[in-house]
Amino acid sequence: MNIKEIKELIEIVSQHGITDLEVERSGVKVRIRKEGPLAAGSSQAQPGSAFAAAQTHGSAHAIEGPRVFVPAEPGPKNDEEGLAQVRSPIVGTFYRAPNPDAEPFVKTGDSVEPGQVLCIIEAMKLMNEIEAEVNGEVVKIYAENGEPVEFGQALFGIRLSKKL
């Protein structure tokens, strides 16, 4: 979400008498609240994971006020440490290697490049190879081999290479 889109949201809030608007897109959540008759609106943008967004979504009914939800898209997003996060596009079982006897596709500290396979997520014998979408170094592996992962759950944290 860019500044222009946030400005547009603020316009919507002020023009339509909305007191509270929350929008999530690409893992970024923006909440715009009209505090009083004089306030134009305040906005706070916070980086959030698609997983966290999904949880927020799940409890949306508990929060009052009109709101617009744009479903968060799982994918590499920057978390608070500046890591690109690789997320699961499906609910499934996380495998770090192509078979139980093989070496993991990647380990922490490995350099990866776009198209390189990082892991497999399996659901009902549908194998989904997850590839890196960026150049960088694998800094974090959030999921355990053989464990179930949720839709949108962070799997890897990748520190982007300085070089383009």
Find the binder of other proteins among 33, 98, 135, 140 (CB under 8 A): 98
Spell out the long-range contacts of 127-130 with Cβ–Cβ below 8 A and sequence spacing 24 or more. Answer: 128/89, 128/90, 128/92, 130/86, 130/88, 130/89, 130/155
Q: Does 92 bind other proteins (CB under 8 A)?
A: yes
Residue entry with tokens 């194998």: 127
Q: Does 47 bind other proteins (CB under 8 A)?
A: no
Q: Does 148 bind other proteins (CB under 8 A)?
A: yes
Quote the least distance from Cβ 91 to other proteins, whole Å: 6
Contact flags string 99-138 toward other proteins, x per CB under 8 A: xxxx-------------------xxxxxxxx---------
What are the CA-CA distances from residue 104 to residues 39, 96, 119, 151 (Å)? 54, 5, 8, 22
Binding residues for other proteins (CB under 8 A): 73-75, 87, 89-93, 98-102, 122-129, 145-148, 151
